[in-house]
Amino acid sequence: MKIALITGASSGIGREFAVQIAKLYRNLDEIWVTARRAERLEQLKKELDVRVKIYTGNLCDDEIYNKIEAALKNENIEIRMLVNAAGYGKMEKVDAGDPKEQCGMLDVNCRALTRMTMLCIPFLSSGSRIVNIASAAAFCPQPGFAVYAASKSYVYSFSLALGAELEKRSITVTTVCPGPVDTEFFERAGALPSKEKAAVRASASEVVKQALLDSVNRKTISVYGMPMKCARIFAGILSDRLLTRIMKRINHIN
């Protein structure tokens, strides 16, 4: 049975992946979705014109991985696409931050993404794809958002290296690096100053459409929109010191 597995499918970017994958990839037998909010996943299931299997749980607990692993083994599953979208950010200075929230980002954004990927690798078939959601925050250090940006640098580096390892099995890994996207993300992260947000924000549907296109074209990095493409170029040219100072100013850190 051919499936796509999507984490973080209860809202925002992950949910949008489920919607677009269901429309575009008619050869899939099922889409498997995970998140903690069961009612959101049930609602998504009603909206999709494909069989949906729900795995509710916290990606920081063992239980969800055990359930998915058992199902993968028992049901003769071929994963055609894995989308690791679950994640969160919390804008706080490190010296004033809540350690649980800050370290929790490492647990979800890095550890859970790595664990889900390692769990799925044996079930990924030749020509299949992994899509990992990093962020444009991966491009440079971000005072005021230090742990989040570092966690996304991990996703960026990990995904590039993994892609090279899986090349011989014809499995593509695409790292998606969006700037601000209109989702519930900012409710937990804390709002960006509205001027900057309005200038560069994108919709989840635009970002996901581009990501799926880039993944089909076997690209390793997907960056939506001119502002973020420019940010990536500047991050490659400017010194780390200068970049960090610029981000400190943009994030209004004194």
Ligand X SMILES: NC(=O)c1ccc[n+]([C@@H]2O[C@H](COP(=O)([O-])OP(=O)(O)OC[C@H]3O[C@@H](n4cnc5c(N)ncnc54)[C@H](OP(=O)(O)O)[C@@H]3O)[C@@H](O)[C@H]2O)c1
Nearer to ligand X, 159 or 183 (CB): 183
Is there binding between residue 13 and ligand X (CB under 6 A)? Answer: yes
Tell me: does residue 247 bind ligand X (CB under 6 A). Answer: no
**Nearest-CA neighbor of 22 among 9, 31, 32?**
31
Of 58 and 125, which has the nearer Cβ to ligand X? 58
What is the pattern of x (binds ligand X, CB under 6 A) and - over residues 49-68? ---------xxx--------
Half-sphere exposure of 174 (CA within 13 A, CB side): 24
Q: Does 86 bind ligand X (CB under 6 A)?
A: yes
Using CA atoms, how far apart are residues 157 and 175, in angstroms rounded to an integer? 9
40 or 45: CB nearest ligand X:
40
Stretch of residues binding ligand X (CB under 6 A), selected from 17-25, 175-183, 208-216, 240-248: 175-183
Candidates 33, 57, 30, 59; CA nearest to 44 is: 33
Q: Is 140 in the site for ligand X (CB under 6 A)?
A: no
Q: Which is nearer to ligand X, 163 or 178 (CB)?
A: 178
**Which are the contacts of 99, defined by CB distance < 8 A and separation ≥ 6?**
none
Which residues are part of the catalytic machinery?
148
> Which of 28, 54, 108, 243 lies at the binding interface for ligand X (CB under 6 A)?
108
Applying CB under 6 A, among 91, 133, 140, 171 the residue interacting with ligand X is 133
Residues 196-225 that bind ligand X (CB under 6 A): none
Q: How far is the CB of 204 from ligand X (least distance, A)?
A: 6
Residue 36 makes contact with ligand X by CB under 6 A = yes
Please report whether residue 144 would count as binding ligand X according to CB under 6 A.
no
- The full length of the chain comes to 254
Under the binding rule (CB under 6 A), the answer on residue 82 touching ligand X is: no
Task: Find the binder of ligand X among 28, 72, 171, 181 (CB under 6 A).
Answer: 181
Q: Is 180 in the site for ligand X (CB under 6 A)?
A: yes
What is the secondary structure of the chain as a DSSP string? -EEEEEESTTSHHHHHHHHHHHHH-TT-SEEEEEES-HHHHHHHHHH-SSEEEEEES-TTSHHHHHHHHHHHHHTT-EEEEEEE---------GGGS-HHHHHHHIIIIIIIHHHHHHHHGGGEEEEEEEEEE--GGGGS--TTSHHHHHHHHHHHHHHHHHHHHHGGGT-EEEEE--S-BSSTHHHHH-PPPHHHHHHH-B-HHHHHHHHHHHHHTT-SEE--SHHHHHHHHHHHHS-HHHHHHHHHHHTT--
According to CB under 6 A, which one of 21, 185, 200, 210 is a site residue for ligand X? 185
Q: C-beta of 205: minimal distance to ligand X in Å?
A: 12
The count of residues interacting with ligand X (CB under 6 A) is: 29
Residues that bind ligand X (CB under 6 A): 8-14, 35-37, 40, 58-60, 85-89, 108-109, 133, 135, 178, 180-181, 183-185
